Amino acid sequence: MIEVIKGFISTYSREFDYYSKLSELVGLKLESALNESGVRAIVSFRAKGIESLQRKLEKRDVEENHGKYKVVGDIYNDIVDLAGVRVALYFPGDIDVVSTIISEMFVELYSKTFPGARLDSAEGLYAKRFDGYHAKHYRIKLGDESRYSETPVEIQIASVLMHAWSEVEHDLVYKPMSGGASKEELMILDEINGMVIAGNIALERLQSAIVERVNGKDYTFQNHYDLAAYIAKEIGINEIINTRALYELLESLELLNRVKVEEILRVIKELLDRVSEDDDELVNHEDDGYISGYILGAILDTICQLYPDKVISLVCSGYIPFDSLRFKQDMVTFVMRYHKENDIRYAIFILGKLCTNPPSFVEPSVYNIESFEDIFEPNNSYVDFIEAHKCMSLFIDKINNIIYEDFNQNDYEQLVEHALLVGRNIVIKKA
C-alpha cells in the first residue's frame, strides 16, 4: 500500500543518520579486524539510499498487487539491509577466515551462501551458462550495550571481481533505468561472469603462489599479510590472530626469518595436537588484551621459551607488545617460567595459583583463595608466616610495577631476586 510506504520512507528519512552510523561502526570494526588478521580486503559501508529504497518498495508492492505491505513493520521485516557492509576480498580463498571473524565478533542472525538454486532471466530470453554471483551474506547485530546493539546489519563477502560484476548486472538487469536488458546484454553479462569466475580461480592460484614463495628457506617476511598466510597454512586454523602486532613483535626481536618462524610454529603445532581432543582448552580468553587468547598466548610463551634474552632486552627497552601494557607484563612472567633457577619457576607457579587472572596480576588483592593460610605456608621455621606473606606481596607488586613504570635491566634483576626469595620461603600446603 502506497500510504504505508510513504509512512515508512518518512520515518526512515529521519532514521537515515542512525543507519549510516551503524553501518560505519560495523564496517570500521570489521575492517580493523581483517587488517590485524592479515586479510587483504576493501571494506565499504552505507545506509540504503532513500530514493532507490522507495522505488524498490513501490515495485515490490505493485508486483504483489499492492498487498505486500500492510503496516510499516512489514517493510522493516522485508528489507534487511538498511545498514549494509561490503567486504571485497583480494583473494576469494579468504572467505572462510572472514566468516570466522564475523562469527566471533558479532551476533549472527542468518547467513546465506551464493550461488543458490539456478535462476535464469525472468524474461526467458537467455539461459545462463555460468552460475552467477559467488558470495556469502550475513545478517548480524552488534549485541553490545550501545543504542545500535539490536539493529540488524547485512554483511556481503565476495571477491573484488565478483562485487564489480554483480554491481553491473544488478543495475542493468534488476533495476534498469529504461527498459529491461536485451538478450545480447544478458549474453554479454553471462560472458563477463565467466571471466570473473576464471579470475577468481586465478586469484586463488595467486594466493597459493604467495604461500609457496614465503615457504622459501631463506625468506624473510616482508609484511604481516605474508605472515598471516604462512601461519594459517602451517597451523591449519582460521582463528583471529593479530598478525600485524605479531609481525611488529617478531620484527623487533629479529625473528622474521622463515626458519625461525617455523621453529616457533612447530612448538605450537605440537601443542595443538596434544589438546585437539579437549575443546575446552581451545576456548578463547575473554580478556580483551587477547584476540585469539589460547593460540596467541602459546606463540608468545614459545617465543619467550626459545629466546628469553631477546625478550627481556626488548621489554627492558620500554617496548609494549601489541600496544597493550598487559602484554608487557605478561612477557616478563612468560620468560621467567624458563629461568634456570627452579625457585624462580616455582614463584611464577605460585602466582598462577594465587591470582584469579594469571599470568597478569593487576589486582593483587584478588585471590582464588580466602587467604594465604589456606594454601601457603613458610618453608622453614626461621621464616614466619607474616614474612612469607610480605615476600609474596612484594613480588606481586614488583610484577605489577612493570606495567606502570619504566622497566630496565636492573629492575629485572631485582625481580629475579624477589622471585628467588618467594621460591625458597613459601611452599604450597599438601592436601
Query: Is residue 159 in a domain?
Result: yes
User: Given the C-alpha cell 532513500, which residue does it identify?
Assistant: 50
Q: How confident is the model at residue 268, as a pLDDT? A: 78
HEC sequence for 102-126: HHHHCEEEEEEEECCCCCCCCCCCC
- Do 43 and 182 reside in the same domain of the chain? yes
Percent over 70 (pLDDT), the chain: 81
Q: How confident is the model at residue 242, as a pLDDT? A: 85
Percent over 90 (pLDDT), the chain: 39
Q: How far apart are CA 34 and CA 32, in angstroms?
A: 5
Q: What is the mean pLDDT of residues 309-335?
A: 88
Tens digit of each residue's pLDDT (9 = 90 or more) over 78-130: 998 999 999 999 999 999 989 989 998 999 999 999 986 555 554 566 677 78
C-beta separation of 86 from 137 below 8 A: no
Query: Is residue 203 in a domain?
Result: yes
What is the pLDDT confidence band of residue 288, given thresholds at 50, 70 and 90? Answer: very low
Query: Is residue 134 in a domain?
Result: yes
Q: How confident is the model at residue 373, as a pLDDT? A: 63
Q: Which CATH number covers residue 15?
A: 3.30.460.10
Helices (H) and strands (E) in the chain, counts: 15, 7
Q: How confident is the model at residue 381, as a pLDDT? A: 59
C-beta separation of 34 from 98 below 8 A: yes
C-beta separation of 384 from 410 below 8 A: no
Of 208, 240, 268, which closes a domain? 208
What is the pLDDT confidence band of residue 344, given thresholds at 50, 70 and 90? Answer: very high
Query: Is residue 195 in a domain?
Result: yes
This prediction's pTM: 0.76
Q: What is the mean pLDDT of residues 268-297?
A: 57
Point out the least confidently predicted range of 179-183, 194-198, 303-307, 356-360: 356-360
Query: Is residue 313 in a domain?
Result: no
**DSSP letters along 205-257, please?**
HHHHHHHHHHTSTT-B--SHHHHHHHHHHHH-------HHHHHHHHHHTT--B
Q: What is the mean pLDDT of residues 241-250?
A: 90
What is the pLDDT confidence band of residue 48, given thresholds at 50, 70 and 90? Answer: very high
Of 187, 208, 229, which closes a domain? 208
Q: How confident is the model at residue 289, as a pLDDT? A: 36
Q: How confident is the model at residue 178, as a pLDDT? A: 54
What is the pLDDT confidence band of residue 140, given thresholds at 50, 70 and 90? Answer: very high
Of 208, 231, 257, which closes a domain? 208
What is the pLDDT confidence band of residue 17, given thresholds at 50, 70 and 90? Answer: very high
Query: Is residue 104 in a domain?
Result: yes
Point out the least confidently predicted range of 250-259, 260-269, 292-301, 351-360: 351-360
Tens digit of each residue's pLDDT (9 = 90 or more) over 352-387: 777 655 545 545 444 444 555 666 666 765 556 677
Q: How many domains does the structure of the chain reveal?
A: 2
Q: Which residues contact 32 (CB under 8 A, 6 or more apart)?
A: none
What is the pLDDT confidence band of residue 6, given thresholds at 50, 70 and 90? Answer: very high
Domain that holds residue 421: 339-431
Query: Is residue 163 in a domain?
Result: yes
Query: Is residue 187 in a domain?
Result: yes
